Amino acid sequence: MFSFRNKSIVKLAVILTLSIVASGCGSDSEVPSAAGSSSAAATTAAPGTTAAPKATAAPAEPAEVEPLVIAVGTEPSTLDAQAVNDRNSRVFTANVYETLLTRTADGELVSGLATGYEAIVPNVAPLVIAVGTEPSTLDAQAVNDRNSRVFTANVYETLLTRTADGELVLGLASSYEAFDEDTWRFTLRDGVSFHDGSAFDADSAAYSINRMLDEDYETQRSSYIKNIVGAEAVDSSTVDIHTNGVNAVLPMQVAQLPMVPNGAGAELNELPVGTGPYMFDSWDRGQSITAVVNPNYWGLAPSIQAFEIRVIPDSQTQLSALQAGEVDLILDILPEQTELAPAFKSVAATEFSFVHLDTRKENLSDPRVRIAMNMAIDKELMAETLYGGFARPNQAQHLSETMLGYNPDVKMFPYDPEGAKALLAEAGHADGFPLTIHVGVGRYLRSEESAEYIAQALTEIGLPTTVKLWEWNEFRSASRVKAPEPEAMDMAYKWNSNEWFDAARMTSFATIGGKSNKLWNEDVTALFEAGAKTLDQEERHRLYQDAWALIHENPHAIYLLQQDLIYGMSERLDWDPRLDDEYLISGMSLLS
């Protein structure tokens, strides 16, 4: 190591000496002259160690030679090397100060004042994330609930992916295009391999998509394979995905289709194999799942070396485990728990709460009635009281500002109970009529309290409203019934999430054929269907904006809030929550 240091001093001396001869004074282009002289230096210094005594002798007799003069354009503001870093200063300071490590003339990092060095990787305990429900399988293609994704999204990857703020970007694909009317063509990244060592290629990509399309394959991701007919490998790094007619949302769907090895089957349930930055390590059923970093990962190596998903069903126990330092991240805490957690962060989620109105119910058929109902609700009050400020009023379109199709001209309905009463009278309902708001319990934060408030607010404008609570799965079945069926609900308290960041996610609510539709509007349907068939993004944006403008005049919902997700975190965890409800460990780090 000392020899390195000596050699660099030798070279420095040689370069300085040569600089005198070669470039004289005048040069302010430090880099080229150094680079140019380094080849010359190589010949002079070729004898190596024999040259050393001569060279070290040179600065030892300064009196006999005129001092070297270097001109700089700007005077260094200070001679404190730690303070400045401009070239004019460095010309001086780099010759006066030294560093622990330095560089050879051709840029190689070598020992400076240090005789040697090594990276001491601190023995940091793995990151631990608590989930309330254990993933039922580790096959990412089968399930899509958040508790599963916390694990699978770190192990599996997709052709396209999203940045932390929701922008769709390339994942395992290196490029993609709409090839023709019913084909999207994806070119795959080179040099990617699965955790089992097999190569990620077009065959595995095509297999992955076709596996999910299989009639016998049970998957929760069925909405992501809608209008996909099949996939085929064109060559080893190109795969075509065939769609049922023009499918403009295919890139968004592809971002949710995890890639698995060619021929993979049921073994993925317990032994997941993906291409992601982390590899499956162990699964202690009922308790925890662990993963370690993938040393052969094609992308940037993550800083966290291992993580554990720990199953803790009770939310109070989760908070205790966080306080006791056993876990680093819990996914949902209540607004009032934020002061109990060692640290917390919140992010505006892509989730929107609303009361879904069945526009075919006789009393609700007049749009003015539905607008009046919107005006009865004080959303600001709800956000402040029920959610402790961790929510904001929804701008009447199930979208937030950055999403495709958001219409900035559509404004929140104002809180105006008197205006609401007038509007009801205008619509011929001055005497009001009774209503029931249906709520599935135990699913969404503060759903019962919200429904109670809404019922009270509607009662105040002359629509006496009662709240009916349902067990969650029963609610899901019952809320599928629509008018004119007599048991169809007047009003159902619902949430929707828009992890596509795109108005197309609302298609099933807005189009007449859609499963969740209670609007029955042909013009809106036409606009949404056109949006699904249009590849030009600007044009799509405009189509959906027009649709929201129409829906605003004829609302199918009482728009409520856009909710924050609040995360309880340990003090050592450094992470900014993502907008898309994904938990990528590669984007986290641990302070020790």
24 binds other proteins (CB under 8 A): no
Cα(188)–Cα(192) distance, rounded to whole angstroms?
A: 9
Q: Closer to other proteins by CB, 109 or 266: give it.
A: 266
**Please, which residue, 317 or 385, has the CB nearer to other proteins?**
317
In angstroms, what is the minimal distance from the CB of 136 to other proteins?
Answer: 4
- Amino acid letter, residue 474: E
Query: Which string of x and - marks every residue 74-113 that binds other proteins (by CB under 8 A)?
Result: ----------------------------------------
Binding of residue 508 to other proteins (CB under 8 A): yes
By CB under 8 A, is residue 485 in contact with other proteins?
no
Instruction: Tell whether residue 554 is a contact of other proteins (CB under 8 A).
Output: no
How far apart are the C-alpha atoms of 494 and 502, rounded to whole Å?
A: 19
In what side-by-side order are the strands of the sheet with 228-235? Answer: 173-180, 183-188, 238-243, 228-235
Interaction mask 243-282, other proteins, x per CB under 8 A: -----------------------x--xx------------
| C-alpha distance from residue 318 to each of 289, 308, 313, 567 (Å) | 16, 14, 8, 12
Q: Among candidates 70, 37, 38, 50, which has minimal Cα distance to 6?
A: 50
Shortest distance, position 149 Cβ to other proteins, whole Å: 13
Which two structure tokens, joined as six digits, stand for 436?
């029931």
Toward other proteins, which CB reaches closer, 28 or 314? 314
Which two three-digit tokens encode residue 357?
A: 């109105």
State the minimum distance, in angstroms, from the CB of residue 569 to other proteins.
16
Q: Considering only residues 43, 82, 123, 316, which one is a binding residue for other proteins as defined by CB under 8 A?
A: 316
**Strands 491-497 and 435-440, sheet pairing:** parallel
Burial classification of residue 30, based on how many CB atoms lie within 10 Å of its CB (0-12 exposed, 13-18 middle, 19 or more buried): middle
| DSSP calls for 472-521 | HHHHHHHTT--TTSTT--SEEEEEEE-TT-BGGGGHHHHSTTSTT-----
Binding span for other proteins by CB under 8 A among 376-384, 513-521, 538-546, 567-575: 513-521
> Which of 141, 161 has the CB closer to other proteins?
141
Identify whether the C-beta of residue 482 lies closer than 8 Å to the C-beta of residue 473.
Answer: no
Choosing from 167, 474, 571, 576, the residue that interacts with other proteins (CB under 8 A) is 474
Q: Indicate whether 527 belongs to the interface with other proteins (CB under 8 A).
A: no
Nearer to other proteins by Cβ, of 72 and 469: the residue is 469
Q: Is 374 exposed, middle or buried (0-12, 13-18, 19+ CB in 10 A)?
A: buried
Q: Which one of 70, 84, 311, 422 is in contact with other proteins (CB under 8 A)?
A: 311
Q: Strand (E) positions, 197-304?
A: 228-235, 238-243, 278-284, 288-293
- Pairwise CA distance, residues 157 & 140, whole Å: 9
What per-residue string of b and e applies to 50-72 under the rule 16 or more CB within 10 Å gives b?
A: ebbeebeeeeeeeeeeeeeebee
Q: Is 312 in the site for other proteins (CB under 8 A)?
A: yes
Stretch binding other proteins (CB under 8 A), from 6-14, 22-30, 133-141, 389-397: 133-141
Q: Which is nearer to other proteins, 475 or 559 (CB)?
A: 475
Number of amino acids touching other proteins (CB under 8 A): 47
Q: Which residue in 77, 175, 287, 466 binds other proteins (CB under 8 A)?
A: 287
The distance of Cα 160 from the centroid of its chain, to the nearest Å, equals 12
Site for other proteins in 205-234 (CB under 8 A): 215-216, 218, 220-223
Q: Which of 516, 545, 563, 570 binds other proteins (CB under 8 A)?
A: 516
- Under 8 Å between Cβ of 348 and 325: no
Q: Does 139 contact other proteins by CB under 8 A?
A: yes
Q: Does residue 349 touch other proteins according to CB under 8 A? A: no
Q: Which stretch binds other proteins (CB under 8 A): 42-50, 150-158, 320-328, 430-438?
A: 320-328
* Residue 286 near other proteins by CB under 8 A: yes
For residues 16 and 237, what is the distance between their CA atoms, to the nearest angstrom? 53
Q: Which is nearer to other proteins, 418 or 487 (CB)?
A: 487
339 binds other proteins, rule: CB under 8 A:
no
**Cα–Cα distance measured from residue 302 to residue 119, given in angstroms and rounded to the nearest whole number:** 16
Peptide bond into 393 cis (omega under 30): no
- Point out which span in 139-147, 229-237, 368-376, 398-406 binds other proteins (CB under 8 A): 139-147
- Does 569 help bind other proteins (rule: CB under 8 A)? no
Beta carbons within 10 angstroms of residue 154's beta carbon: 28
Nearer to other proteins, 117 or 472 (CB): 472
Distance CA 294, CA 392 (A): 40
196 binds other proteins (CB under 8 A): no
Q: 115 or 136, CB closer to other proteins?
A: 136
Query: Which of 317, 402, 466, 537 is close enough to bind other proteins by CB under 8 A?
Result: 317
Closest to other proteins by CB, 383 or 399: 399
Task: Return the closest-CA partner of residue 143 out of 156, 124, 160.
Answer: 156
- In degrees and rounded to multiples of 5, residue 468 shows phi and psi of -120, 125
Asked whether position 288 contacts other proteins by CB under 8 A, the answer is yes
Contact residues for other proteins (CB under 8 A)? 133-134, 136-137, 139, 142-144, 215-216, 218, 220-223, 266, 269-270, 284-288, 310-314, 316-317, 320-321, 323-324, 326, 471, 473-474, 476-477, 480, 496, 508-509, 514-516
